[in-house]
Structure 1
Amino acid sequence: MAVIQGAGMNRMRCIAFLLLMTACGPVDQERVRTLAALEVVPRDDADRRLLVEILRRHALAAGFHVDDVSKKWQEFERTSSLPASFRSSFNVGVWQGTEDEENQMLADDRGHIGRIWITFPKGTGVGRATRFREALIADIDRHWPARHAIPILPTGGLPLAKDLILVGETYRIRPEARQRYLPADRPLL
């Protein structure tokens, strides 16, 4: 077996670096912009399993697939020193493509344990993604009629859970936190 040393090793490092750089491109901010966000609060483990089943059913109907990494994330948490804001007990994504080429939906309770936030990015496949999103939200509304809408910032991001207050069925940004996210004259989506 030959051992690569000197200039050969430097050349290999350069090739590896170039390959890595071509695989990492800038994120298309418009594609990851959140179009809809809602909160579901499951009553128990059976409710959580039902939510995963509903996500899976709608994903399969749309030609997408579900990755439930809740248990893997919890195992990772046990061996790391993550701050409380990164803790999560529910972590499920709906993806398009065998290599998870495009996210269609994320559902997690990171930073707000027990309150699962379901978010839908804009993506690129508007027709199929829209049908998936609308059918899934209608099904969630049937099972959790008390679900809450989460405000979407003009940037397409979401406010922190600690900065929200529930007003009726919708969250609003607390007045004292509003300046952190918006100019005074800018409305939420």
Structure 2
Amino acid sequence: MLRVAPILLFLCAACGAVEQPRSAETVAAYEVPLPTASDKRRFLALLTEKAEAADFHVDAATNDELKVASEVSPQTFSATVWRGKDDEEPIASAMDFQDRLGRVWISFSRGKDPVRSSQFRKSLMPAIKDGWPETASLPIMPNGSISLTRDLVRTPNGYIVDPLAAKTYEERTTIERP
């Protein structure tokens, strides 16, 4: 269940706006094409290698955990990079989802130690891009979210938000309640 917790956290976060600490702010995100089991194993090995080199660790969902999570929404990959042996802080999260199976989104948080978090990201991303050249950047919206897959348009430089959908992601300072 511990490994499914990050999945549930991200699913619950999509349910409504909640003030997050600055350290949890998403500062970068990418889509990595991992269509095969071999790609996923290689990616997880790379993620683990770079995390351990930065004194972080990775918790990844097992096939059985993914099967259970897929009963709610199909998923083939889920892993989180953590700071601290007791999972004190998520540094990065990588997962695919029902509308983009085999296309894993990895997002990076600012972290309580932004320099260390940035160094990890800067160490990892060139290796990912070398292994999966079709890796594309994802835009971070003004409200800190990553847009829905359906609202993204692929360009030679990564994804952008479809201009017709951009207003959906404008920063909201209050929560409307019925």
What's the TM-score once normalised by structure 1's chain length?
Answer: 0.75
Whichever residue aligns with residue 41 of structure 1, its letter is P
Aligned mate of 1:35, from 10, 27, 36: 27
Report the aligned-residue RMSD: 1.8
Whichever residue aligns with residue 101 of structure 1, its letter is E
Aligned mate of 1:142, from 130, 141, 145: 130
Correspondence for 1:73: 65
Matched position secondary structure for 1:48? helix
Distance 1:61 1:163 in 2: 36
Whichever residue aligns with residue 90 of structure 1, its letter is F
What is the number of equivalent residue pairs in this alignment? 153
How far did residue 182 of structure 1 move?
Answer: 2.7
Matched position secondary structure for 2:147? coil
| Pair 1:173 & 2:161 matched | yes
CA contact (8 A) 1:58 1:135 kept: yes
> Is the helix fraction higher in 1 or 2?
1
How far did residue 70 of structure 1 move?
Answer: 4.4
Correspondence for 2:89: 102
CA contact (8 A) 1:87 1:110 kept: yes
Unpaired segments ≥5 residues, structure 1: 1-25, 184-189
Deviations 1:23-68 (A, max 9, x none): xxx8643121111100110242111110000000000000011101
Distance 2:88 2:64 in 1: 21
Distance 1:92 1:105 in 2: 8
Correspondence for 1:15: none
> What is the identity percentage for the equivalent residue pairs of Structure 1 and Structure 2?
31
Correspondence for 1:45: 37
Tell me which structure has the larger Cα radius of gyration: 1
Q: 1:162 to 1:29 in 2, by over 3 A?
A: farther
Correspondence for 1:21: none
Distance 1:100 1:123 in 2: 13
Aligned mate of 1:56, from 37, 48, 59: 48
Moved more, 48-57 or 64-73: 64-73
